[in-house]
Homo-oligomer: A and B are copies of this chain.
Amino acid sequence: MKTNGERIGNVAKQNNVRLRPHIKTHKCIEVARIQTAGHDGAITVSTLAEAKAFSKHGFSDITYAVPIERGKFEEAIEILRSGVKLNLLTDDAATVKDLDEASGKAGVNFNVFLKIDCGTHRVGVEPHTAAAIDIPRQISDAANLNFAGILTHAGHSYDVRSVEAVKEVARHERDCMVELAERLRDASIEVPIVSIGSTPTINHVDHLKGVDEVRPGNYIFFDAFQATLGSCSFDDTALTVLAAVIHRDTQRQKIVVDAGAIALSKDRGPVSIDPGCGYGHVLDLDGNETGMRVTSLSQEHGEIQAADDAALARFPVGSRVRILANHSCLTAAQHSHYNVLENMEIVDRWDIHRGW
Could you tell me which A residues sit within 8 Å of B by CB distance? 24, 46-47, 66-72, 91-92, 94-95, 98, 121-124, 155, 244-249, 252, 256, 258, 261-263, 265-268, 298-301, 303, 316-318, 320, 329-330, 333, 335-336, 354-356
- Given the known A-B contacts A320-B71, A330-B261, are A123 and B336 also in contact in the complex, defined by CB atoms under 8 Å? no
CB neighbours (8 Å) of A261 from chain B are 265, 267, 330
A67–B317 touching, CB < 8 Å = yes
Q: Are the C-beta atoms of A256 and B123 separated by less than 8 Å?
A: yes
Tell me how many chains of this kind the complex includes: 2
Q: From residue A79, how far is it (CB to closest CB) to chain B in Å?
A: 16
Interface residues of chain A: helix, strand, loop or mixed (majority): loop
Contact residues in B for A298 (Cβ distance below 8 Å): 122, 155
Given contacts A92-B248, A354-B336, contact A318 B69 (CB under 8 A): yes
A279: shortest Cβ distance to chain B, in Å?
Answer: 10
**Complex CA–CA separation, A6 to B230 (angstroms):** 54
CB neighbours (8 Å) of A70 from chain B are 317-318
**Minimum distance in angstroms from A283 CB to a CB of chain B:** 17
**Closest-CB distance, A224 to chain B (whole angstroms):** 15
Out of B268, B303, B354, name the residue touching A122 (CB < 8 Å): B303
Task: Report chain B residues within 8 Å CB of A336.
Answer: 354-355
Please indicate the chain B residues that have their CB under 8 angstroms from the CB of A258 in the complex. Answer: 66, 69, 356
